[in-house]
Structure 1
Amino acid sequence: MPQPTPEQRLQLRERPLCRPVMYQSWQELLFLHWRIDADIIQRTLPAGLHVDTCDGAAWLGVVPFLMRNIRPWWFCSVPGISNFLELNLRTYVCDDAGRPGVWFYSLDASQPLAVWAARTFFRLPYQHARMQATVARESGHVEYRSRRTGTPEDAVSRFEYEPTGEVRTADPETFEFFLVERYLLFADLGGGRLASGQVHHVPYPVQNVKVTEWDSRIIELARLPAPGRPPDHAICSRGVDVEIFGLQGVT
């Protein structure tokens, strides 16, 4: 099973030479991670993708955050459309060439147009959800709520978190780097075809985080084993500005 080299992990941080298709800002991110058996994850992946492991295991990430200033390269952001909330469930993979990236099981979002566009143009498994968040901008304290459309009224995922300690970036070849420094996503085009899409941003400014409320319901919705325990790792970032590049065929 191929595994990325340290050089491959660093190489993807370089900005592509082509023009991005979109600009976005990702703000007030919480990264919650659970250790999970790599064989369980491998069975869920399409052909051509392989589990990217750290410390002998695969990792499931639940990431609530704010999407802001979303716009195509040729237009400005639009009030009511360009700002929304997102909650994604992800794991870490590499392709046959060893390129490391993210595989999304689901991406819940509060903006129906964004759900349609991401499904149509990026082939990502977006789901519409009713979501709300309050943010204390000075402290970074976040209260976050999400319920996927079609689930019971009481099936609300709740997160409450606040950054603590000094801001830092993840050092290469560390566990934090493995989790957050991901610049490639993979999408299943159907018919045995895979595509990849690259993003570019400065390395995440990350901090330790105090998590007073968390939820793993989104893992169960993906028909993956419920962890039944608090996250094995938690970290947060106040955010980055992001360039999004178009999909490229892999297989």
Structure 2
Amino acid sequence: MSGGPVLDPQGPPLPTTQIMSQWWRDIAFVHWPVEPALLAPLLPRGVRPDVFDGSAWVGLIPFRMVDAGVLRGGPVPWLGTFPETNVRVYSVDDAGRHGVVFLSLEASRLLVVLGARLGFNVPYQWASMRVRDDTDAAGARVLTYTTRRATRATPGTRGQVGRAGRPRARISIRVGEPVAEPAPLDLFLTARFGLHTAVAGRSLWVPNTHGPWPLRSAEVLELDDDLVAAAGLGTFARTTPPASVLFSEGVRTTFGFPQRL
């Protein structure tokens, strides 16, 4: 297979009633290609790995959630703003919907973690987190995202994550110039307007929409990560440089009510 699906950077209208909205701010997209067979067992029923140039992709995505609100209401004070770091992979279903599957989501708000787990079976993890925003000598932004999970990894991954089995990550990037015209791979990794999950054995599609990402190039200055290994994907994030690194100041996004596959 050559290339991948041609994805539109502009999100479609929500097909269902809005259930929440939020800003995703100061987001880093750090990605590695992997064999699709590595991811296939991790996806909900009726969903398969989405591929570009024959490879599936794993993303390590730190950012700041800002002003999240429920339904069409305003931001939820305090609870609606917090750092988050995701390990995500890319998926497509039989209806041709290109989305993401989250293997883990670190967040610093325990009530958010509990609510997401109970409501949508999304694997949020409670963690101590920080986002530091600096400027280097040349005037470029340097962001450093740190996280340490409050709970231990599963027994099968503790040997990979080390550090007493409590996964953590430190990711530092230097922000570069605006991306005037995103490449097909850039869009494949960022223009995703929904997630696949499973609740009570039923596979679901949760749609979202937002405008095009204002993308910038970025450079990894430091990457010390346990989260990819803790998700059961091996240690490549600690040994192999990422193949794609991007940054965005962010977008406002809205989510719709889930649909069954």
Preserved contact between residue 22 and residue 244 of structure 1 (Cα < 8 Å): yes
SS at match of 1:39: helix
User: Quick one: structure 1 residues 121 and 175, their matched pair in 2 at CA, closer, same or farther if it must change by over 3 Å?
Assistant: same
> Does 2:224 align with 1:226?
no
Amino acid at match of 1:181: A
SS at match of 2:258: strand
Q: Distance in 2 between the 1:165 and 1:74 partners?
A: 35
SS at match of 1:24: strand
SS at match of 2:213: coil
Structure 1: 4+ residue segments shifted above 6 A: none
1:235 to 222, 246, 258: 246
Preserved contact between residue 200 and residue 242 of structure 1 (Cα < 8 Å): yes
Query: Aligned runs of 1:35-184 on 2, under 5 Å?
Result: 35-136=33-134, 139-151=140-152, 152=163, 155-168=167-180, 170=182, 174-184=184-194
Residue in structure 1 matched with residue 159 of structure 2 by the alignment:
none
Q: Distance in 1 between the 2:177 and 2:79 partners?
A: 34
1:196 to 205, 208, 219: 205
What is the aligned-residue identity percentage?
30
Q: Distance in 2 between the 1:30 and 1:181 partners?
A: 14
Q: Distance in 2 between the 1:101 and 1:78 partners?
A: 26
> Per-residue deviation at 1:46?
2.8
> Per-residue deviation at 1:189?
1.3
Quick check: 136-145 or 123-132, which moved more?
A: 136-145
TM-score by length of 2: 0.85
Q: Deviations over 1:136-175 (max 9, x none)?
A: 499542121101112447853111113111243535xx11
Preserved contact between residue 44 and residue 196 of structure 2 (Cα < 8 Å): no
Quick check: 196-205 or 39-48, which moved more?
A: 39-48
Amino acid at match of 1:54: F
SS at match of 2:121: coil
What 5-or-longer segments of structure 2 have no aligned partner?
A: 153-162
User: Quick one: structure 1 residues 122 and 155, their matched pair in 2 at CA, closer, same or farther if it must change by over 3 Å?
Assistant: closer
Quick check: 80-89 or 118-127, which moved more?
A: 118-127
Amino acid at match of 1:10: D
Amino acid at match of 2:186: E
> Per-residue deviation at 1:205?
0.7
Query: Aligned runs of 1:4-19 on 2, under 5 Å?
Result: 6=6, 9-10=7-8, 13-16=11-14, 18-19=16-17
> Per-residue deviation at 1:73?
2.9
Preserved contact between residue 28 and residue 140 of structure 1 (Cα < 8 Å): no
Preserved contact between residue 170 and residue 204 of structure 1 (Cα < 8 Å): no
Alignment RMSD? 2.3
Q: Distance in 2 between the 1:61 and 1:209 partners?
A: 15
TM-score by length of 1: 0.88
SS at match of 2:43: coil
Q: Distance in 2 between the 1:74 and 1:95 partners?
A: 28
User: Quick one: structure 1 residues 244 and 33, their matched pair in 2 at CA, closer, same or farther if it must change by over 3 Å?
Assistant: same
Preserved contact between residue 169 and residue 206 of structure 1 (Cα < 8 Å): no
Residue in structure 2 matched with residue 249 of structure 1 by the alignment:
260
Preserved contact between residue 169 and residue 203 of structure 1 (Cα < 8 Å): no
Preserved contact between residue 35 and residue 60 of structure 1 (Cα < 8 Å): yes
